[in-house]
Amino acid sequence: MAILANKDTKVICQGMTGAQASFHCEQAIAYGTQIVAGVTPGKGGIKHLSLPVYDTVARAAKETGADASLVFVPPRAAADAMIEAIDAEIPLVVCVTERVPVLDMVRVKRRLQDSDTRLIGPNSQGIITPEQCKIGIMPGHIHFPGKIGIASRSASLTYEAVGQCGRARLGQSSVVGIGGDPVYGLGFVECLELFLRDPETEGILLIGEIGGTAEEEAAAFIAAEKPKKPIAAYVAGLRAETGRRMGHAGTVNVFGKGAGAAKIEALKAAGVQVAPNAAEIGSTMRAALRG
């Protein structure tokens, strides 16, 4: 099975007529994803990639029955695009846009609280259910179906983890990039809840980083729930200097808060097997499955 997205998911793309969105939508369509329409204000009525383009998300959803939206909108307008999708009651919104202003994301989070929409991102590579549906910018060919659910803050480390799992013959049920920004939608805890409920997911892999409290929150959830499914993790950034941002807006270790060592300690205390380095992510997941 899968979480959040599968072969039946119908996807619209906000900003589809842009160059990057066009490229990645073409890749998604070739992968088998049901991209059904685009949304670009002022371009409603045209065809792009042989698909209809609408002025609004509400109209696109009504006409196509879409239940997911991929947001490829520049940072200054990304929050309004996400809010438009939330107001249109799209169940799943995936935002790959980087550098969305933090205060804009506070507005988005507030709107999410009164909705049934699930948001992945921003600054996310998206979500993929191998050989069924990919909503985002990840390379589809490195993923293959299996029973490992992966949630990650880092796109590049996700691809490394997927590659290592593949070499260990561990396919994936679904892979979710929660994004590397300080304010975001779906987090580790929500992903854990979904993977634990999925009968086809037999093991879970978390890829974390310094900064924020997502890993500590995941550890607290695991400690409280005591799940039977094995969970492995890797935390990047152990050698990052205090107070320096390392790539992602959310990867900041400030005065001991969000330190990698503390995250690892919390995860280990909760019973999670933590990879000692990036080269051993796949073998650590395999060891966790063996118990």
Report the top-level CATH class of 143-290. alpha beta
Give the confidence band of 211 by pLDDT, cuts at 50, 70, 90: confident
Is residue 70 packed enough to be buried (19+ CB in 10 Å), middle (13-18) or exposed (0-12)? buried
Q: What is the pLDDT of residue 238?
A: 76
CATH of domain 10-120: 3.40.50.720
Alpha-carbon distance of 153 to 215, in angstroms, equals: 10
Q: What is the DSSP letter of 257?
A: B
Q: How far apart are the C-alpha atoms of 214 and 25, rounded to whole Å?
A: 30
**Predicted local confidence at residue 254, as pLDDT:** 47
- Bridge partners (DSSP) of residue 69 are 12, 93
- The reported pTM is 0.94
pLDDT at 284 over 50: yes
Is the confidence at residue 66, as pLDDT, over 90? yes
| Backbone phi, psi, residue 35, to 5° | -80, 120
Two domains, one topology: 10-120 and 143-290: yes
The ranges assigned to domains in the chain are 10-120, 143-290
Average pLDDT over residues 129-147: 97
Task: Please write the tens of the pLDDT for every residue from 216-272.
Answer: 999 999 999 999 999 999 999 876 665 555 566 555 554 445 678 899 999 999 999
Q: What stretches of the chain show up as alpha helix (H) in DSSP?
A: 19-31, 57-64, 75-87, 102-113, 155-167, 188-197, 214-225, 260-269, 281-290
- 8-16: average pLDDT: 98
Left, alpha or beta for 88 (phi > 0: left; psi -120 to 50: alpha)?
Answer: alpha
Cα separation, 165 vs 145, whole angstroms: 11
Instruction: Determine the Cα–Cα distance for residues 232 and 53; give it in Å rounded to an integer.
Output: 42
Active site residue ranges: 248
pLDDT recorded at residue 246: 57
Note the pLDDT tens digit of each residue in 140-189.
999 999 999 999 999 999 999 999 999 999 999 999 999 989 999 999 99
